[in-house]
Each structure stands twice: as C-alpha cells, then as structure tokens.
Structure 1
C-alpha cells in the first residue's frame, strides 16, 4: 500500500507540473523531481491541500494561487558575496582580462532577489569597470525580480554580507553602497542604473544577447541532466569569443554535453572559459 501511494503521488506530481506548463507556460518538467517533491510537500500545508491533485485543481481554476505557489517552486536562498573565494577569483583572475574590453555585458542567470547581481555590481565598481558595464539579471519569478529591482534587504542580513564582502578582497566598506533605514538597507541607486532586470526561463527561452561573462550559481543543481545541458548550451551560445562562465560550488561542467566547449580557468571556484573557435 505505501508503494502504491508513492506511485500515485509521483503521478500527481507529473500531472501538476504538466498543468502548470500548459496553463501558465512555466516549465518545471526538467527540474530535479526529488527537489520539487520536497517543495510541493511544503506548499500543500500552506494551501490547505491534502493531495497534489487538490492543489492542481486550485492552480487550474484560481489564477491567484499560482503566483504564491511559484514562491515554493523557485529557490530564493542566497547572500551577497556568497562563497567569497569565487568573488576573489573574479577580482584577481577574470577582471584583468575584462579590462581589455571597451564595454562589458554580463548575464546573471537565476538572479533570485538580487544578492549576486549587486555583489557583482559592487565588485565592478571597486575595480573601476561598472561605468562601462551592463548587467542582465534574469529569473523566472516576477516577485523575486521586483524584490531584486528594489535593492532592499533586511538589516539582520548585513553582518554576513559585510563579512563575505571583506573576504572577497574588497577595496572599501560595504556600507559605502547602502543607506540604512527602519531596519532595512537600500542599495545605492547608481548600482541599479547598470542593471536590467528581466524575466527569462532557462527551460524555454533562448539567448537574448552576446555577453562577456555569465554567472549562474546554484541553479543547475535543481535541474535534471537534459535541462542542465540546455542551460549550459545557452551560456555557450551567449558568450563572446573566450568569454567566462561561473557556476556554483557544487556544480560542474565535467559530465555535461558542454564540457568540451570550455577550458578550466579557476577550477576550484568553478570558473570556466569558452574555448577559442566556438
């Protein structure tokens, strides 16, 4: 009986994900099913549903339900300058090569609430490159994009942000880039002037610009292999000649279809460089 219930739950999950795709055009079919199962299990309690079939019924017939469910289906966990060694490697190894371009375009894919994109903007400002840089920050979650565009974070998070920033090889104080008020911090609007926030799905959308650097960290771990390969193919196609790709600490190109398209650049920090001639 438990086995039958598990099979039924798996069928319900597939049907719900298919329903979301056909009704709202969000494609989670290539996402890691175990991760989705955990998130949907949490969502059931929030929506007061006993089964995924009940949740599917509400998703299909009540348009207000899906935006709330999307918060459970997308991962919104990050910090500014998360994994400081990654940002130190960007500063020391990648930035000197980016300096050789008269203008720069950078793509932060899966930007969530904006922690990483603002980290990159601050790093580029410290290195004197932000004025000639345009950063595309994309995500599938409209609410996350709105939060990112506001540049507002809770004050309780700033101590961790500040420590990470210092460990990244910072050339100043993080406090130079925000104003504190009413228990929150607001990032300097001059940072936001160089960022374009936009909806983009790695599952269904295509390349929209040629860029010099793609940073997509801690996103691919939530994808099944085929979707990982699709996303990495987009990054390869978006990158200019000898452009750079940064992934998360638990992600790798090693077993992907795109492994032959990139050279290791700073392997310990998952920074790769597109091979010549591609």
Structure 2
C-alpha cells in the first residue's frame, strides 16, 4: 500500500482542547490520579487524552494496571515518565481498537443509496476516515466505492493516533474467525459480489486485496491536538466521539466542519449525534437514523 504523508496542515481557528475547569464537587482519589496521569502523558509524549471521558479513561487504565502488574495509577505514572517503551504498551490499552468490517450495515446501505449518487457528481472525491483504528472501516469504504464505480477517482485519508493500529491497517490482514461476521455485514450493507472475492485466506488470517487501498494515505493525526489537512466531501468518524467529553467532541466536530466542502457529508456512529453539540446548527440530517449529516453552513 502507498504510505504517503497528508498535505501540509493549514492553520485552524480551533485551538487544542484544554482540560476543563475543576468541578465544584471534590474528585475521588482515582479521578485525581487519572487526571495527573493524562497530564503527564500529554507533557511527556504529546498524546492528549485529557478530554476523553472519565469512564473511558478509568476502564482502560485499570485494565492496563491489571495486564502490566502494577499496583496503582500513580505507580503507572511514575514508570511511564521514565520508560518510553512502557508508554508504547500503555498506548495500546488507551486506544483499544474495537471495530469490524461493515459495522452497522444500515449505515453503508444509506451511503450507497443517499450519498454515493451525489458524490458521483464530483469530478474527484476526497474521503477522511478519522480514527480509522486497524482499518476495517477503510477497507469497507474502499469496497463500497469500488462497487459503486467511485474508487478510482477517490482519495481516502485514513488517520489515527496509534502507530501500531495504522501499521495493521496498512497490512490489510484480519482474523479469519471474524470473516463470517464481516460477510454477513457486507451482504446486509448491499454488497454486490461474493465477499470472498476481496480477500485471500491463509491459515488463520484473511489478506484483503492490496489494490483496494493502494492509494490510501495512512497518517498519524489527533483530533485533540491537530488541525485540518484537506478539503473533503465525506468524513466518516464512527464510534470515536463516544469516548470524548463535550469539549473534545465539539473540537472534533469543528475540524470536520472545516474540512468538509460545501454541502459535504459527515457520518457518525449509531450511538453518536450532533443534536446537543455546539455544531448542531451547522449540519442538517441527511439520513438521520443512520447518523449521516450534511454540512448546512
């Protein structure tokens, strides 16, 4: 697969999200430790998890403690500050990839029926898959776009903050045990071929056709600290905002709004919505049930 760099980021009016003010109610010891850990990670390694939801932080950090055999969050912080290798391991826990191909098939069916016909009117199309994890969403979109005759004139940007996840995405190799579920999703998403046409099975893995993502630009990008790097017609960021607090959700939505061309499309996860965000009036529902919106202003 082609490993390129995205265009030079243009300045964004949005500043990096900062930590929210201290709440009036006292914090628990665990919450204090979590805040200190996230601040330490940001200052030491420039990874900003400070505005992820406390519930998400706590769940992932406590799991990391168990797996790493450490007694407390404070002990983890002390070791992480002195051991970059340990931070690399911790990063895998903080960004646990939970994904599947053609997840929520109705979303992809809605893209086929309600978005693709409009994308066909553009001479070329740019798609941003934000928070692409290990690449399941990227390959799903590439398959859909190929079947709809759009892939050859589409540039896909696939971004994530986890270098290990990006490397897995580049490889396009997924567990064979997951393929049955992926096949069902593909069929329900309006797939027009045999799903097996897109991969080669060997031992316990399925390697997907490299030509699907030959021109995909995989790149490191943080919705918490980075800026917009391209004008796009479709942004797909699904099941990412649910891990952000309101401040960071609004920052991410601001980036998507800035990135999208006039009347561009935004796709979110089934449990996500812009209805109560600071950008509710900047997007109009296009396929509300499937969480597909269109830039309004």
1:120 aligns with 2:141: yes
SS in 2 for 1:94: helix
1:219 aligns with 2:240: yes
Cα distance in 1, alignment partners of residues 163 and 255 from structure 2? 21
Cα distance in 1, alignment partners of residues 194 and 53 from structure 2? 39
Counterpart among 245, 253, 261 of residue 274 in structure 2: 253
1:184 aligns with 2:184: no
Residues 130 and 194 of structure 1 are in contact (CA less than 8 Å); yes or no, is this contact kept in structure 2?
Answer: no
SS in 1 for 2:28: helix
Counterpart among 195, 198, 216 of residue 174 in structure 1: 195
Cα RMSD for the two superposed structures:
0.8
Match of 1:36 in 2: 57
1:153 aligns with 2:174: yes
Counterpart among 226, 240, 253 of residue 232 in structure 1: 253
Normalising by structure 2, we get a TM-score of 0.90
Q: Deviations over 1:41-79 (max 9, x none)?
A: 110011111110100011000110011101111130011
Cα distance in 2, alignment partners of residues 177 and 128 from structure 1? 16
SS in 2 for 1:128: coil
Cα distance in 2, alignment partners of residues 10 and 264 from structure 1? 37
After TM superposition, where is structure 1 displaced by more than 2 Å over at least 4 residues in a row? Answer: none
Normalising by structure 1, we get a TM-score of 0.96
Match of 2:155 in 1: 134
Cα distance in 2, alignment partners of residues 43 and 265 from structure 1? 40
Match of 2:17 in 1: none
Q: Deviations over 1:222-271 (max 9, x none)?
A: 00000000000000000001000000000001000011001110000000
SS in 2 for 1:260: coil
Match of 1:70 in 2: 91
Task: Compute the displacement of 1:194 (Å).
Answer: 2.7
Task: Compute the displacement of 1:13 (Å).
Answer: 0.9
Gaps of 5+ in 2: 1-26
Cα distance in 2, alignment partners of residues 195 and 19 from structure 1? 34
Cα distance in 2, alignment partners of residues 75 and 250 from structure 1? 18
Choose between structure 1 and 2: higher helix proportion: 1
Q: Does 178-187 or 245-254 show the bigger shift?
A: 178-187
1:97 aligns with 2:118: yes
Gaps of 5+ in 1: 1-5
Cα distance in 1, alignment partners of residues 53 and 250 from structure 2? 13
Match of 1:107 in 2: 128
